[in-house]
Structure 1
Amino acid sequence: MANIPLIELNDGHRIPQLGYGVFKVPAEDTERAVSEALEVGYRHIDTAAIYGNEQGVGAAIAASGIARDELYITTKLWNDRHHGDEPDRAIAESLDKLGLDAVDLYLVHWPTPAKDDYVHAWEKMVGIRERGLARSIGVSNHLVEHLDRIVAATDVVPSVNQIELHPAYQQREITAWAVAHGTVIESWGPLGQGKYDLFAAAPIAEAAEATGKTPAQVVLRWHLQKGFVVFPKSVRRARLEENLDVFDLELSDAQVAAIDAMDPGDGSGRVGAHPTELN
């Protein structure tokens, strides 16, 4: 099994730096895909209520025979459940589908600022953590303006912010906030989600040639050396193994700097929705 590094969160818990994400994995394929990922050596699984595949993740966990304390499971609160007691109902439903007493990490999936109830959602997340239903709590797709507001309201800093992040779109303002506040960044869409031919870009192609690794492995290694948590998605065993085979690779400072320079800094690299617009 790969020796996956653990990163300490601001609440004292630790998170595996490389995991397996099941975004867009069909419900009927999830149990097989997650079981295969666990067989290959992954121990960190990232799902969400809106993905519709929490039951498949739970079935794979149950069938694996792996001790619960060896696994790290994340799920997320969807946008229509920020108000009232809906976050409490939502975590109960997710735990039932996953077959777990608690998740390791529970995230507010998007701030949905037009509804203006993400502060309330965060307050409820704090209560969920206090009741032991989630060991750590965090957010996803939250900008600095959202982060500042929830921290001001609760004095609780998210342990994690899961954001779109890849060499063409590095979200430096948010990552700087995270460093200043002790929040760990998780990268979704870490390989650019197909919109950009990152693998043909000179800094990545040249690093792959120099290290004898694939361009995908170079990009994943860049995330890891930047201190980000990353969970690429694949339903092919060979790709699962390839994505895990990045711990004998060390990019040079010059190689990392060349990849850093790929983001023009104007936001044009975004692939997914903008957090102020998804409501």
Structure 2
Amino acid sequence: MSQSIMPKLGFGTFRLQDEVAYQSVLTAIEEGFRHIDTAQIYGNEEAVGRAIKDSGVARGELFITTKVWNDKLNKTDFINSVKESLTKLQLDHVDLLLIHWPSPANGESMHEYLTELQSAKELGLTKEIGVSNFTIAQMEEALSILPKGALFTNQVEVHPYLTNQKVRDFCAQNDILVTGYMPFAVGKVLKDPTIKAIADKHQVSTAEVVIAWELAHDMVTIPSSTKRENMATNLKALSLSLSQDEINQIDALSCGDRQANPDFAPDWDHDEVKTTHAWQFQGADKALALGLKAVPALKAGQILVRNLAVGINPVDWKFIQADPINWTDTHTPGVDGAGVIEKVGDGVDSKLIGKTVAYHHSLSENGSFAKHTVLYAERVMQVPKGLAANVAAALPCPLLTAWQAFSKIPLRKDEKVLVTGMGAVNKLLTQMLNHSGFEVHALSKSLTTEQAVKLGVKLVLRDAPSEGGYFALFDANGPEEAKKLVPLLQANGHVISILGRIETPVDEPFTRTISYHEIALGALHDYGDTQQWQRLVSDGEKLLNDIASGTLNVEEPTDFEFNNLNDALEFSKVQKQKAVVVV
């Protein structure tokens, strides 16, 4: 085998350590893999080297790749780090040496470390040189530094959910081989219905289909496994031929679902998202169906968000169950989510691209139960650092509803207020009231003493109190229950109905002059103006910061995989607990 010919199907060793790495690489070579990919940062070069030596396969038949980590890109350490890698690998050279990531901001210049990379080749430490995770702009700069034809490959994340088409096209135009890592997107694509249907047709595994798709696009791919049977299955992909129609079907799955995106990652080249995976309404009280859906062109003021997580609210399963506003069969439900802005429409600041946001969306428009959602830029809240996406996605509806309820009454320090129905909304509301100096009493059968202390509840009532004098009543049990408690309010008191509203005042006119308030966050989408949304978003961002700092406490939601969204809806309905779908 020529040292410069790179086997199109390699064996990746990311996350494999110690004896697991040794046995996996040894097994892979026994099964027929001849291309092994490792890296300094993987911490397994020594185990990989032992496996190579113990395999008994001639060195000339193997193609070995390693990568230089960020902290060794400087002129002082670069060559020494490569020699150290070779010592661990028990080799006098590798076949391919890569820059693992472009140097982070304020790091070494590209000219410095690419010059060292070229020196490693000239010293015979590697046969070929390349880069990994480079954008188009960075490859252009690299081509201007390295000798013509020296840049052998760019190793980037490629799988059906992230085809990286712009980068691949540039590589093809400049005779740079594309090596795709994470071909299975950490297992996500192996569960895809489209890929599964193609696999069933050919009577092969979904892994074989994914690998065959990458090979059909003339890419190198480096799947990883610790199981002999999976390695053998992956190698079978070499003999699987997909039709052009099948390749096109898989191409259409691309939705920008990037898995590897550390803080020091470059400003990626984003492919245009034309389709997305979306759960779609099938009729009242029927399970949603997952399928591909076209992403509409953005209008002025709109943004495209790639969802990281989707919040499940009672309003979601209630509307799916009853269909009160006559959704079409292609409607995508979901009001809450959190994700990354990938594209902006006219009139929207392009600096928002890449920002992580949380949002509450209109029930009448295609919603969050998808990998991408079109939203209005003025209606999203930026998520503070340190707040996980699954937590952020669970918050918009209950958090903003609680804030609207809190904002209905004037601040009166030390006044007594009664809160009934201790769900997600009122647990947040109770903390807001407590922090503002109200004395909070909770009417609840389920609230524990420990929870009460954490929320700042002064008195927990299991039954309606006999004595009143409350300044305000915040009710989440419904108008009929609320009406029974109105007599507990003092004159000029307030009743805030979070679930439904009291249609007819309880008291006679001109007696206790109770103020009746209703809360309907969703109504703001239809009746709110720009100023109201700006104010709500600003308040919401402050509240998210309070949660990130620990000033407001929230319960961790129960996470579900994207393909199990129907299970998350059922969990929310039956368990009455917060569920989040991680996209």
TM-score, normalization: structure 2? 0.44
Report the Cα distance in structure 1 between the residues aligned to 2:239 and 2:161, rounded to whole angstroms: 25
**Residue in 2 aligned with 1:144?**
136
Alignment partner for residue 273 of structure 1, among 258, 261, 267? 261
Whether 2:88 is the aligned partner of 1:100: answer no
Q: CA deviation at 1:126?
A: 0.7
Alignment partner for residue 13 of structure 2, among 22, 26, 34? 22
Amino acid at match of 2:129: I
Kept after mapping to 2: 8 A contact 1:81/1:90? yes
Amino acid at match of 2:134: H
**Residue in 2 aligned with 1:171?**
164
Report the Cα distance in structure 2 between the residues aligned to 1:158 and 1:233, rounded to whole angstroms: 25
Kept after mapping to 1: 8 A contact 2:23/2:51? yes
Amino acid at match of 1:53: N
Whether 2:229 is the aligned partner of 1:241: answer no
Report the Cα distance in structure 1 between the residues aligned to 2:86 and 2:108, rounded to whole angstroms: 26
Q: CA deviation at 1:119?
A: 2.7
Amino acid at match of 1:233: S
Report the Cα distance in structure 2 between the residues aligned to 1:256 and 1:128, rounded to whole angstroms: 39
Report the Cα distance in structure 2 between the residues aligned to 1:120 and 1:173, rounded to whole angstroms: 27
Alignment partner for residue 252 of structure 2, among 249, 261, 265? 261
Whether 2:175 is the aligned partner of 1:190: answer no
Report the Cα distance in structure 2 between the residues aligned to 1:33 and 1:100, rounded to whole angstroms: 19
SS in 1 for 2:223: coil
Amino acid at match of 2:92: D
**Residue in 1 aligned with 2:79?**
88
Report the Cα distance in structure 1 between the residues aligned to 2:185 and 2:226, rounded to whole angstroms: 17
Whether 2:117 is the aligned partner of 1:129: answer no
SS in 1 for 2:156: strand
Q: CA deviation at 1:249?
A: 1.3
Report the Cα distance in structure 2 between the residues aligned to 1:35 and 1:201, rounded to whole angstroms: 31
Report the Cα distance in structure 2 between the residues aligned to 1:249 and 1:151, rounded to whole angstroms: 35
Number of residue pairs aligned between Structure 1 and Structure 2:
264
Kept after mapping to 2: 8 A contact 1:82/1:118? no
Q: CA deviation at 1:29?
A: 1.6
Report the Cα distance in structure 1 between the residues aligned to 2:173 and 2:68, rounded to whole angstroms: 25
Q: CA deviation at 1:64?
A: 1.4
Q: Which has the higher helix share?
A: 1
Alpha-carbon displacement from aligned partner over 1:172-217 (angstroms, at most 9, x marks no partner): 11101100111110111001113x3x23333312211111111111
**Residue in 2 aligned with 1:228?**
219
Amino acid at match of 2:221: V
Amino acid at match of 2:158: L
**Residue in 2 aligned with 1:31?**
22
Amino acid at match of 1:263: S
Q: CA deviation at 1:66?
A: 1.0
Amino acid at match of 1:191: F
**Residue in 2 aligned with 1:66?**
57
Report the Cα distance in structure 2 between the residues aligned to 1:169 and 1:272, rounded to whole angstroms: 11
**Residue in 1 aligned with 2:145?**
153
SS in 2 for 1:16: coil
Q: Which has the higher strand share?
A: 2
Q: CA deviation at 1:248?
A: 2.5
Kept after mapping to 1: 8 A contact 2:136/2:170? yes
Report the Cα distance in structure 2 between the residues aligned to 1:49 and 1:277, rounded to whole angstroms: 24
Report the Cα distance in structure 1 between the residues aligned to 2:267 and 2:40, rounded to whole angstroms: 20
Q: CA deviation at 1:116?
A: 4.4
SS in 2 for 1:213: coil
Q: Which moved more, 1:33-42 or 1:113-122?
A: 113-122
Percent same amino acid at aligned positions? 34
Gap regions ≥5 residues in structure 2: 269-583
Runs of 4+ in structure 1 displaced over 4 angstroms?
none
Instruction: Tell which structure's C-alpha radius of gyration is larger.
Output: 2
Identify which of structures 1 and 2 has the higher relative contact order when contacts are C-alpha pairs closer than 8 Å and 6+ apart. 1
Q: Which moved more, 1:206-215 or 1:96-105?
A: 206-215
Amino acid at match of 2:261: A
Q: CA deviation at 1:127?
A: 0.9
Q: CA deviation at 1:65?
A: 1.3
**Residue in 2 aligned with 1:3?**
none
Alpha-carbon displacement from aligned partner over 1:106-152 (angstroms, at most 9, x marks no partner): 00000024024233111111111111110000000010111111211
Q: CA deviation at 1:277?
A: 6.8
SS in 2 for 1:24: coil
Q: Which moved more, 1:112-121 or 1:172-181?
A: 112-121
Kept after mapping to 2: 8 A contact 1:31/1:60? yes
Coordinate RMSD, CA, aligned: 1.8
Alignment partner for residue 204 of structure 1, among 179, 186, 195? 195
Kept after mapping to 2: 8 A contact 1:203/1:255? no
Kept after mapping to 2: 8 A contact 1:112/1:277? no
Kept after mapping to 1: 8 A contact 2:65/2:97? yes
Amino acid at match of 2:24: A
Alpha-carbon displacement from aligned partner over 1:49-103 (angstroms, at most 9, x marks no partner): 1101101111111111111101110000001111123110111000000010000
Amino acid at match of 2:164: Q
Kept after mapping to 2: 8 A contact 1:199/1:215? yes
TM-score, normalization: structure 1? 0.90
Report the Cα distance in structure 1 between the residues aligned to 2:209 and 2:4, rounded to whole angstroms: 28
Kept after mapping to 2: 8 A contact 1:79/1:110? yes
SS in 1 for 2:83: helix
Report the Cα distance in structure 2 between the residues aligned to 1:202 and 1:99, rounded to whole angstroms: 44
